[in-house]
Structure 1
Amino acid sequence: MVNHATADRIRLIAPTTELHDAFLDCAFEFGDGHRDGFATDSISDDDLVDPERFAAWVALRASYADEATELPPDRVHDTLSWIVDERDPERILGSISCRHRLNDFLLNVGGHIGYGVRPSARRRGVATAALRLALEQAKTLGLQRVLVTCKNDNIASARTIERNGGVLEDVRESPDHGTVRRYWIDLAQGD
């Protein structure tokens, strides 16, 4: 059940060094698990803690949104945002990444949009609202359809995607990522 009061207050903000401690609090709430949508795969937790390295990472992630930035061959341009509630905008609830296009890995496993909501903020409609906002970002990028994926056993994420218009295309096995549900969302619907 989506908490509409919460959903109406959810905002996506650009990562900023001013929220370094809030980001660490959010990211480390996941423990040793993978942080979907956080784009922290290229930086160690020790580097995230260091203010200078964190600032360099924030700047690097901002550059990924700029289509003029030359990226490594295995990367695509993406817009990284942090999820906040406008009532407490200095507490980060999660992170979401809107990829501008798909490479082979993203087509098969990762999708256009990846997101993660900190465990203490789940079951309140945060992910559903954040995904809705990321779909608006995708529209501004000119995307007509987006692929959103989740682990087959992640029922909450599957429901989040379905609430945002996701239509299941298939369920695939990935050697490194287990069983993945692949949903397409038509952005032209309702226009």
Structure 2
Amino acid sequence: MKLVKPTHHHRKQIMAYRQAFLNSREQPYGSCSLQHFDSIDEWLEKVKIQEKGENLPPNRVPSTQFLSIENGELVGLINIRHRLTPELLMESGHIGYSVHPEERRKGYATEQLQLSLIEVKKLGLEKVLITCDKANIGSAKTIQKVGGILENEVISPDTGEIVQRYWIEL
């Protein structure tokens, strides 16, 4: 597996990924809100703006978007936030990720998360926060596999769900 930045070269796979999540009625975490974009050009522009960190809305921070590619196929998305706001510190963390609904339970989440920690180190961060819903046992196990230590659980003010907060020392 390798992490690559999204380009027009991947447009068909990105839009198919988006559609798979719309069909499953799930949110593609770590996607820079891909579910809200019908146009690949508009999404790629948002990705570019987020990475530059210029003229961002108050609730946004600079972030880097990656595609997780295995044997030429898009199997997951990773978004790495370069810093955290108080809100992100509470329930979102530095890294958001998802795996294509048809590619789950194959070890891709663990592998892409391990690769994302290499990218995080390049940003100069010494530890990262990764969160997941308590009900998402697979995600919790993935975070633990890459060294995540549970700090606590909080209730999301947006969803009312219990969110687990894990820290990983780099």
TM surpasses 0.5: yes
Q: Deviations over 1:84-121 (max 9, x none)?
A: 10x2x1x2111110000001221111100000001111
Between the aligned partners of 1:54 and 1:26, the Cα distance in structure 2 is 12
Q: Specify which of 37, 40, 49 is matched with residue 30 of structure 2.
A: 37
Aligned to 1:175, what secondary structure does the other structure show?
coil
What is the aligned partner in structure 2 of residue 123 from structure 1? 105
RMSD of equivalent CA atoms = 1.4
Quick check: 1:26–1:118 contact (8 Å CA) kept in 2? yes
Quick check: 2:150–2:167 contact (8 Å CA) kept in 1? yes
Q: Specify which of 18, 42, 53 is matched with residue 56 of structure 1.
A: 42
Equivalence map 1:75-154=2 (5 Å): 75-85=60-70, 87=71, 89=72, 91-154=73-136
Q: TM-score, normalised to structure 2's length?
A: 0.92
Q: Would you say 1:71 and 2:56 are equivalent positions?
A: yes
What is the aligned partner in structure 2 of residue 180 from structure 1? 163
Higher Rg of the two aligned structures: 1
Q: Percent identity?
A: 37
AA partner of residue 27 (structure 1): R
Quick check: 2:84–2:94 contact (8 Å CA) kept in 1? yes
Q: Deviation at 1:18?
A: 1.9
What is the aligned partner in structure 2 of residue 28 from structure 1? 19
What is the aligned partner in structure 2 of residue 19 from structure 1? 10
Aligned to 2:90, what secondary structure does the other structure show?
helix
Q: Which runs of 5+ in 2 are unaligned?
A: none
Quick check: 1:27–1:118 contact (8 Å CA) kept in 2? no
Report the count of equivalent residues: 167
Aligned to 1:79, what secondary structure does the other structure show?
strand
Q: Deviation at 1:19?
A: 1.6
Q: TM-score, normalised to structure 1's length?
A: 0.82
Q: Which runs of 5+ in 1 are unaligned?
A: 1-9
